[in-house]
Structure 1
Amino acid sequence: MKHKNRSQLLDRQTRAFTTGTVELINDQWIFFDEETDEASMLEYYIDQEIEVLRFNSWEKGQLLEEGQINLPYGIVALENSASIRIKKNLVFSLEMLLDDLNDDAFIQFITSLNTAHFSIYDCIYCHNHLSFLQKSGRREGVNFLMFDNMDGICAVQHHFRYNEKNQDRFEFTLNTGKRFIIEKLP
C-alpha cells in the first residue's frame, strides 16, 4: 500500500476533522468549534491543512495568514461565518507506530478499531515501545494505546515480534467488558 492510500484511509476516519465556523472579530479571525462551542484564534492553525465549505462541497487547502486559504486553484479569502474543517493531528507516538506497521497490520488495526466504533483520532494515549528499539535486528515488546470516543473507552495492547518474519497481535478491551484479538501471523 502506498503512503497515499494510507493517508486516504486516515482521512476517511470519523472525527478526523474539527468542524466549525470562523468570524472576523476586532480584525482577528476566530474559529468556533461546533461540537464544543469553544473559540480559538484561527492563527494557531496557520500552515495546517484545512477544508472550507464552498458551493456545497469541501475544498482542501492550507491556511495562510490574514484569513486566506491556498486552494489548488489559487488563494481565496475566508468570509464571515464560513464553515471550515481543521485536520486533527495524531498523537506523535501513534503516528510513529503506524509508520512502523506493515500494510496488513495497519489495515487490520484500523478496521478493527473502526468496527468497535472508534477512530484512530480518538487516541488519547500511546506508549510506543517500538520507537525505543533499534531498527535492525530482533525487536519485540508491547505498545499500549487508549482511545476515547466520548461514548466509551478502548484499551489496545499491541504485542509485536519483528525478526525474519513479523508478528503483530492486537488485543482490544472495551469499557463494556467486550474483548477481541486480531493477530497477524508470519
Structure 2
Amino acid sequence: MNRQQRIKLMDFQLRAYNEGSVEQISDQWIFFDEETEEAAMLDDFLQQEIEIFRVNRWKKGILIESGKIRSGNDIIMLRDHDLVRIRKHLIYSLERLLEGMNDDAFFQFVTTLNSLDFSIFDCIYCYNHLSFLSEENRRDGVNFIVFDNQEQICNVQHHFCYFEKVNDRFEFTINTGKRLVIEKMIS
C-alpha cells in the first residue's frame, strides 16, 4: 500500500466532512453546519479543502478567499444556499500515529474500525505513546484511542512492539460490550 492508496482509503471515510450550506450576510459568508446547526465564519476555513455541490456532483477545491473556491484553474464563486462540505482535520496525535504505522497495520486498523461503523474522523481522543519514544532499537507500549460515532463509543488499545519483529495488536471495545482483537506480525 503506497501513500496514494492510504489517502484514498482516508478520503472515503464516513463523516470526513462538515456538511452544510453557506449564506452571505452583511457582506460576510457564513457556513451553517447541517449536523450541529452551528454557524461559523467561512473565513475560518481559508486555504482549506472544500467541496461545493454543483450540477449534481461534488466539486473539490481550496477556499482561497471568502466566497471564492479555486478548483484546478477555475475560480468558483459561491452563491447563497450553496451546499458545501469542508474536510475535517484528524486529531494531531492520531494523524502522527497513522503515519507511523506500517501499511499492513494501517489497513487492518482502518478497515476493522470501518467494519464496526466508525471512521477515523470520529476520534475524540488519542494518546500516542509511540511519539514519545526515540528511535531506539526496541520500542514497545500501548496507544489509547477513543471514537464516538454519535451512536456508540469505541475504545481502541494499540499494543505495539517494534524490535526484531514488528507486532501490532489492536483491541477494539464498544460500549455495548462487543470486543474484537486483531494482530499483525511482521518478521
| Superposition deviation, residue 16 in structure 1 | 0.3
Amino acid of the structure 2 residue aligned with 1:98: L
Cα distance in structure 2, aligned partners of 1:119 and 1:51: 19
Q: Is residue 2:170 matched to residue 1:173?
A: no
DSSP-derived class of the 2:99 partner: helix
Cα distance in structure 2, aligned partners of 1:77 and 1:2: 35
Q: Is residue 2:78 matched to residue 1:78?
A: yes
TM-score by length of 2: 0.97
Encode CA deviations 1:90-146: one digit per residue, 9 max, x unaligned: 000000000000010000000110111101000000000000001242100000000
TM-score by length of 1: 0.98
2:106 match: 106
| Superposition deviation, residue 28 in structure 1 | 0.3
| Superposition deviation, residue 164 in structure 1 | 2.6
Higher mean C-alpha displacement, 123-132 vs 51-60 = 51-60
| Superposition deviation, residue 165 in structure 1 | 2.0
DSSP-derived class of the 1:35 partner: coil
Which ranges in structure 2 are unaligned for 5 or more consecutive residues? none
Q: Percent identity?
A: 57
DSSP-derived class of the 1:141 partner: strand
Which ranges in structure 1 are unaligned for 5 or more consecutive residues? none
Where does 1:105-124 land on structure 2 (aligned, <5 Å)? 105-124=105-124
Amino acid of the structure 2 residue aligned with 1:90: L
Runs of 4+ in 1 over 4 A off after TM superposition: none
Cα distance in structure 1, aligned partners of 2:27 and 2:102: 48
1:61 match: 61
Q: Is residue 46–residue 66 contact of structure 2 (8 Å, CA) maintained in 1?
A: no
1:97 match: 97
Where does 1:135-154 land on structure 2 (aligned, <5 Å)? 135-154=135-154
Cα distance in structure 1, aligned partners of 2:113 and 2:107: 10
Cα distance in structure 1, aligned partners of 2:78 and 2:5: 30
| Superposition deviation, residue 52 in structure 1 | 0.6
1:45 match: 45
Encode CA deviations 1:54-112: one digit per residue, 9 max, x unaligned: 11110110001131001013112111111101000000000000000001000000011
Aligned positions, number: 186
Q: Is residue 2:167 matched to residue 1:129?
A: no
